[in-house]
A and B are shown apart, each in its own frame.
Chain A
């Protein structure tokens, strides 16, 4: 699992530019699915055929990032955010483009900002420096519209992994493991690695329409309340995967919630219950697809979400995969 998480989190894949991560995931699952297709927006839809109801499992493969909106005469790049990036987490950060170009985040008037105006820091006071001396030199490496992601390795700290993009490559790792190990599925199961979740659950919307499932479970990260002076939230790292009760985008369907809880209790897999007051998941789009789909979520407790150093417990991720297998296996 460690190697898989390292491989997935270190791969490039901001919303709208998911080809590299898509290739990595297809490599992991191609020998295990009955059929695999990629839809118009770029979602991977992998089917493990079964005779029962149609079950859609979704984990998003995109990550937050930056998009280049201007390149100036001296070769500095201006940008906008893709998904929930904060200017503050970008200070001193490095980013990497699809072609491997690395850039450093700089800001205008840094002395003033550090003195007393830091709260006013905005993306348009910042720029990316790729070491180019001129526009021409910059254009050899980067075009308008190119996208960058945090440039960070995955480190293993004890039982924890810390990396960029654990949101939601941790969920992708769960789906990959489940697909690799699922023997005789109880459902006609669709493993969907979605695109563009971070900008508004767009891939989940189109893939759910295409699959027309009877049931759905989104596997994503959730926040925790276990760090010093954190917001109150009854989810901790290392206490097992969290069964979603609700978030801002979905109220879990009782059938899904109970299916997950029952499987956890029967198989003695520790679990927690998740009420997430901020944020949503692919389940938000899936449960409103067509005439409605009973949907819920299984979540990986994760600290420092949307920073370059998110942190999750590898044991939680493994247990999430085990729990899903118990739900899906005949």
Chain B
């Protein structure tokens, strides 16, 4: 299953090769593609050459860790790459570097902690990765400073409709694009599997500049906070209620006319769809919509609980509905143009 393969692949920002290779294999027979200087995988499916030329974008990278030093006892210090809540790190298993060395994130044992330390969450700077090395020399045989680490987490089905995996943000988007590329349209379908979104939307800026589309659809995994002890106004998105359309986040304000168009298409086709009810976060849309003279951009996200952790949850029905919605939207642009 492609979603399993994509979410289990290793691809922290700046080291997206594994994910890119999987995607190359998947789209080889579907579209023309090339890898740009930053590592974005740009693709184009010419269709019947009609405009508007649509750019689809999903980022390949995921949040993770980078090894910053190796201590004399062989313990690894690390820094986080992208937004990780330090509190989720303790006792997690990670996979490090090209040799895929396994390690455990360790901390001072509870009986050694001062009373004050027990009351506050451990910070990443107080943690270390234990790879079972005898000493520094032994550790250096397996890992180097600068190696990346990702959570050691397998894809699983949970309940009747949910999947559990790391990196749902944004391998879900990558998966959805491969499904869209299997369909035939009259429009030029271009786009990019982007790099380095999690550390500041760096890949998509270069990708949009090169592609120069008439409009863009960014496909994301976004946070769903529909959990106990959170009030409904704090949910942002809800699992199982369909893909979410962004009105505003820290990087982008949607053009209301485009949002309304997405909602109309969803309603006409009977596809469940929700508005993203928060203004936090950011996506590749932030850099794409201000590229060159400006690009009309839509963000469609699949809700994910426990995002940026080893165990995110998403709904397979939401993923299918996102595919159906984007498909319907492309057909709508094909039939009615950009309409601006």
Contacts and interface: CB of A to CB of B under 8 A. Distances in A.
Interface in B205-249: 232-234, 247-248
B317 interface: no
A200 B296 CA distance: 17
Given A40-B296, A206-B293, A124 B234 contact: yes
Interface in A47-79: 67, 69-70, 72, 78
Contacts of A145: 247-248, 254, 256, 259, 275
Interface in B251-301: 251, 253-256, 259, 275, 277-280, 289-296
B253 A199 contact: yes
B14 to A, nearest CB: 24
Contacts of B294: 39-41, 206, 210
B247 A78 contact: no
B280 A80 contact: yes
B290 A41 contact: yes
A209 interface: yes
Nearest to A290: B292
Contacts of B278: 69, 80
B interface majority secondary structure: loop
Contacts of B247: 67, 144-145
A188 interface: no
B290 A206 contact: yes
A144 B296 contact: no
Given A16-B253, A72-B232, A145-B259, A81 B279 contact: yes
A47 to B, nearest CB: 15
Given A145-B254, A145-B256, A69 B279 contact: yes
Category for how many chain A residues contact B: 20 to 34
B293 A209 contact: yes
Nearest to A285: B290
Given A72-B232, A78-B233, A196 B253 contact: yes
Interface string A189-206: 000000010011010011
Contacts of A69: 233, 277-279
A93 interface: no
B289 A41 contact: yes
Contacts of B251: 200
A80 B234 CA distance: 11
Contact count band on B: 20 to 34
Interface in A11-26: 15-17
A82 interface: yes
Contact of A209 (B277, B292, B296): B292
Contacts of B295: 40
A67 B292 CA distance: 27
A40 to B, nearest CB: 3
Contact of B293 (A67, A200, A210): A210
Contacts of B292: 206, 209-210
B236 to A, nearest CB: 8
B55 to A, nearest CB: 14
A17 B256 contact: yes
A200 to B, nearest CB: 8
A64 B61 CA distance: 33
Interface string A206-229: 110110000000000000000000
B248 A16 contact: yes
Contacts of B253: 15-16, 82, 196, 199
A39 B294 CA distance: 8
Contacts of B233: 69-70, 72, 78, 124
Nearest to B253: A16
A16, A72, A124, A196: most-surrounded residue (chain B CB, <10 A): A16
Contact of B248 (A72, A82, A202): A82
Given A69-B278, A72-B232, A144-B277, A80 B248 contact: yes
B277 A70 contact: yes
A172 B277 CA distance: 33
Nearest to B279: A80
A108 B275 CA distance: 25
A69 B278 CA distance: 5
B251 to A, nearest CB: 8
Contacts of B279: 67, 69, 80-82
Interface in B285-339: 289-296
Given A144-B275, A144-B277, A196-B253, A205 B259 contact: no
A82 B250 CA distance: 9
A81 B255 CA distance: 17
Contacts of A207: 293
Interface in A230-245: none
A39 B293 CA distance: 7
Given A67-B247, A80-B280, 10 more contacts: A16-B248, A16-B256, A40-B293, A41-B289, A41-B290, A67-B279, A145-B248, A199-B253, A209-B292, A210-B293
Closest 6 CB pairs of A and B: A16-B253, A40-B294, A80-B279, A145-B247, A206-B294, A70-B233
22 contacts: A15-B253, A16-B248, A41-B289, A69-B278, A70-B233, A78-B233, A80-B248, A81-B279, A82-B253, A124-B233, A124-B234, A144-B247, A144-B277, A145-B254, A145-B256, A145-B259, A196-B253, A202-B289, A205-B290, A206-B294, A209-B293, A210-B294
Interface of A: 15-17, 39-41, 67, 69-70, 72, 78, 80-82, 124, 144-145, 196, 199-200, 202, 205-207, 209-210
